[in-house]
Amino acid sequence: MAPTTMWSETAMLVIDMQKEFVDPAMSSPALLPAGEAIIPAVTEAVAVARQRGIFIVWVVREHDPTGRDVELFRRHFYSRGSGPAVKGSKGAELAEGFVIKDGEYKLVKGRFSSFFATNLDSVLKTSGIKNLVVTGVQTPNCIRQTVFDAVALDYEKVTVIIDATAAANPEIHLANIRDMKNIGVETPTLEEWRH
């Protein structure tokens, strides 16, 4: 398969790179310090994807202030009418420097997997997408569940860029990367992926 054909059949998912999760200035209980550390790698991965003509999907959380659309175990965060990534809040915005450009797609999800109760699979399949490249946070939750669903949905090639994804600590991150590798997921570094 020619590289241009491969890239036209590839989408990059940029998952939860929102101020609430990666910007320390938000002082959020949902902050993932390692998420801030990967902003440069995700930025570069997005730039490479744009150069290659890869379809970019910005996957975000945007919740109702009541928390009625969030997982049960997180609803207590919304007991005062606000919580992480409330729709329209500063925390729900993409982290500084990230911009959705024309032709790219914003997908709002309410659970860990980008595929659960969303139209993502339909958007990708009708766009001719067969391969996925995944970046963002956080590895054991949203990254892992999205990747496992992508494999179950028969995407031909699923790639997780290991230094453009992050977890609460390196051990958790690498354990989850190992699990994904064991189900056939490719796990290059950004440098390996870009060449």
pLDDT digits (tens, 9 = 90+) for 109-136: 999 999 999 999 999 999 999 999 999 9
Report residue 36's pLDDT band, with 50, 70 and 90 as the boundaries: very high
Q: Please check the confidence at residue 95 and state whether its pLDDT lies above 80.
A: yes
Report residue 1's pLDDT band, with 50, 70 and 90 as the boundaries: low
Q: How many Å apart are CA 77 and CA 82, to the nearest integer?
A: 7
DSSP string, 162-173: EEEEE-SSHHHH
Give Cα 130 distance to the centre of its chain.
17
pLDDT at 2: 67
pTM to 2 decimals? 0.97
Which run of H or of E encompasses 42?
helix 39-52
Percent of the chain with pLDDT over 90: 94
Is the separation of the CB atoms in 58 and 94 below 8 Å? yes
Ranges of beta strands (E only) in 62-181 are 105-109, 131-137, 157-166
Percent of the chain with pLDDT over 70: 98
Q: Please check the confidence at residue 72 and state whether its pLDDT lies above 60.
A: yes
Structure tokens at 121: 């699979």
DSSP string, 81-98: S--TTBTTSGGGSBPTT-
CA dihedral (9, 41, 140, 65) in degrees, to 10, reads: -90
Average pLDDT, the chain: 96
Q: Kindly report the CA angle at 94 between 108 and 149, in degrees rounded to 5?
A: 40
With respect to CATH, is domain 3-64+94-194 assigned 3.40.50.850?
yes
| Secondary structure (3-state) at 57 | strand
pLDDT at 5: 79
Q: Please check the confidence at residue 40 and state whether its pLDDT lies above 70.
A: yes
At which residue do the structure tokens 């990230």 appear?
98
> Sign of torsion, CA 104 109 114 117?
negative
- Non-local (6+) Cβ contacts of 147 within 8 A are 134, 158, 160, 180, 185
Q: Please check the confidence at residue 3 and state whether its pLDDT lies above 70.
A: no
pLDDT at 81: 83
11-17 average pLDDT score: 99
